[in-house]
Structures are given as structure tokens and as C-alpha cells.
Amino acid sequence: MKVDYIVVGSGLAGIALCKFLSDRDKSFVVIDDNSQQSSTVAGGLYNPVVLKRFTKVWKAKEQLLTAMPYYDELAKLLDIQLDHRIPIYRLFASIEEQNNWFQAADKKALSEFMDSNLIQLDKEAIHANFGFGKVLQTGRINTSLLVISYKKYLKDNNRLIESAFEYSELEIHDSKVAYKNIEAERIVFAEGFGITKNPFFKNLPLNGTKGELITIHAPDLKIDFILKSSVFLIPLGSDLYRVGATYERKDKSNTPSKQGKEELVKKLNKVINCPYEIVDQVAGIRPTVADRRPLIGQHEKYAPLYILNGLGSRGVMISPYVANALLNYIENGIALDPEIDIKRFSS
């Protein structure tokens, strides 16, 4: 089999790359063993504001301009609903937080993303003595549905090989690679935390951060917005809410933990004041980088090898932007932003 690209991994990064390869009429095959779960268990939020410090997310406007039409096109291709456009309400814990919000909302870079009004809601089920701030241009992508549906689409089109990638089987030449019975001009590794086992890119400073989420059934909560405090509460419909997430750096397993559940419950109980039942708990390892920028670029020794990784906790919003940037670099010679190029870690 001859293709233009081999893509290793079919999470958010791999899917974005495949979508833009299709747009360019490039042939490809995807190899994935379903070992990485961060995309399927993610909360799926896209949000242009860092809600801890009230600062703008890196390249927020550019990311949204790429992401929104991208998800709309994917939804049409797969005949599913992916994008649920609902606001995020940031719960204030003090007068000081209110003032910090107003100051941030007045800044030019943030004014289009932050409502400058203090929002008061009559919600007995929420501890909200200081009101809320409303974030604009936000919502939730159903990442689990996306991954499942896109993998079926790949399978139906004979583009998916469901197996672990065997690095010892990769033959690297000057202008092509060969893997078992596949010959390709280039190979892109979009493996998430799995990159730590990749002999070609394992020296890059990717740190896995475990994230756990619970799903609760809370009939009395009745909110039609995403609530952000020390945790996110994301309405899923039918009185179900996704609650997350934890940030654990030592445990590198995809197994939900008692400690993770207890941490989320403790934080949740400080936010809401109504009965609820925990109906699910999931966990995954986010591919995070110390400087909070993705790992994008070309191997310094082997020209046909590329990486698309390190999307962290903002994969929904950033994956289309960086996948498009990588292809513009490969196919059109457009330089990568130095902030995301893996050359920043070259010796």
C-alpha cells in the first residue's frame, strides 16, 4: 500500500490532521490501538479565557476561527451533533474576584470574550453569594462521540489499522518511510501520552497529567450553562452533569481512583447545595508540556518523521489550529510558530 501519510493515533490531534489531509486530497492510513483515552474522557470545553487568572488563552481568536468551522464540517461529514454552544459562568468567591473580572473584561484583548456585567441568578442549588461572570464564545464538543464516529468513518473507508504501532518495524529513508506493507512519504506521530514510548521523540519534555471526571445525576440543579468554580459542571441533558477535573502528576494510569472521586466530591459540595448521585467516573492522561505549548514539528535527524502532540487540557480548541499549522509547514513551507515548534528544545 502506498499513501502520502501514516498517522499514528486517532485522538483529537490525529482526527484534526486527518480532516485537513482529506481537505488537501492527501491519502493516509491511521494506526491506533485505543490505548490513549484522554480525548474520549475529556470534558470537551472550548473556552478562550484562563479562568483562574482571567487572562486570554494563547492565540484564542486564531484557534476559534479555525476550530468552529472545522467542527461544523466534521458534524456534517459524520452526520452527528458535536458542538453545544453554551456560555460558561464563572462563580465568584469574593468581591476581589469580581473586581479582577471587571478589570480584565475592560482590556481590549479580553473584551470580546468576557461580559462586563455582574450576573446574579436565583439558584438555590448553587452557593453564589458573589454572583457570576459570563464567558462568551464558549461551548462543549462531544469528544467521545467524535472519536467513536470518526474511527468508524476511517474503518468504513479502509483507512484504520487497529493495532499497536511497532517502532522496530519502521524503515526510514531520506524521503519516505516503510512500515510493514505500507509505504508513505511522511509519518506523523499523534499519540498523546503514548509518545513516551516512542524512541524517536521520547526525549521531548512531555509530562502526563492524569485527569479524572465524574458524572452526576442532579434533578434539582437545573442549569443550562457551564459552571466554573474549583471544578467545572457541564450539563449533558436529562439532569446529568459532568464534573471535573483533577490534575494528578504521579499516577500515570487510566484507572479511575478513589482519591480522584473524593477530591471532586469535596470541591463539588462547596459549590452546589442539592442532592446528587454519582453515576460514572472516568480517567485519562493528558499530554502536557511544562511551557504549556504543544509539541509540533519535524524530527531533527529523520526528515519524514513529524510530531503533533502536547495539547494538554485544551485539545478541543487547539487541535485544529496546530494540525493545520503543521500541514502548512510540511506542504507549503510556512514556518511554524517558534512557541510550538519542537526546535525550541533542540540541544
Q: What is the CA radius of gyration of the chain?
A: 21
Q: Is residue 106 part of a domain?
A: yes
Average pLDDT in the chain: 94
| pLDDT score for 170 | 98
One domain for residues 200 and 148:
yes
Inform me whether the pLDDT recorded for 40 exceeds 80: no
Inform me whether the pLDDT recorded for 50 exceeds 80: yes
| pLDDT score for 347 | 65
| pLDDT score for 253 | 87
One domain for residues 155 and 198:
yes
Domain containing residue 194: CATH number:
3.50.50.60
pLDDT digit string, tens, across residues 57-112:
999 999 999 999 999 999 999 999 999 999 999 999 999 999 999 999 999 999 99
Domain containing residue 272: CATH number:
3.30.9.10
| pLDDT score for 303 | 97
Rounded Cα distance, 70 and 73, in Å:
5
Q: Is residue 73 part of a domain?
A: no
One domain for residues 38 and 182:
yes
pLDDT digit string, tens, across residues 308-317:
999 988 999 9
Strand extents, DSSP E, the chain:
2-8, 28-31, 45-46, 49-50, 55-56, 83-84, 88-91, 132-135, 139-141, 160-161, 170-172, 177-179, 182-189, 206-217, 226-228, 232-237, 240-244, 277-289, 295-298, 305-309
One domain for residues 190 and 300:
yes
One domain for residues 221 and 281:
yes
**How many domains, the chain?**
3
State the residue range of the domain holding 241.
206-286
One domain for residues 120 and 180:
no
One domain for residues 94 and 127:
yes
One domain for residues 326 and 200:
yes
Q: Is residue 171 part of a domain?
A: yes
One domain for residues 192 and 313:
yes
Q: Is residue 58 part of a domain?
A: no
Q: Is residue 19 part of a domain?
A: yes
| pLDDT score for 37 | 62
One domain for residues 201 and 212:
no
Taking a C-beta distance cutoff of 8 angstroms, is the pair 107, 53 a contact?
Answer: no
One domain for residues 150 and 19:
yes
Q: Is residue 178 part of a domain?
A: yes
Q: Is residue 55 part of a domain?
A: no
Question: Quick one: average pLDDT of 3-32?
Answer: 97
| pLDDT score for 34 | 80
> Of the residues 238, 271, 286, which one is the last residue of a structural domain?
286
Taking a C-beta distance cutoff of 8 angstroms, is the pair 7, 31 a contact?
Answer: yes
One domain for residues 214 and 265:
yes
Q: pLDDT tier at 41 (50, 70, 90 boundaries)?
A: low
Biggest CA-to-CA distance, the chain? 65
Question: Quick one: average pLDDT of 47-63?
Answer: 95
Q: Is residue 280 part of a domain?
A: yes
> Of the residues 270, 286, 302, which one is the last residue of a structural domain?
286
Inform me whether the pLDDT recorded for 343 exceeds 90: yes
Strand extents, DSSP E, 175-231:
177-179, 182-189, 206-217, 226-228
pLDDT digit string, tens, across residues 124-183:
899 999 999 999 999 999 999 999 999 999 999 999 999 999 999 999 999 999 999 999
pLDDT digit string, tens, across residues 233-292:
999 999 999 998 898 888 888 899 999 999 999 999 999 999 999 999 999 898 999 899
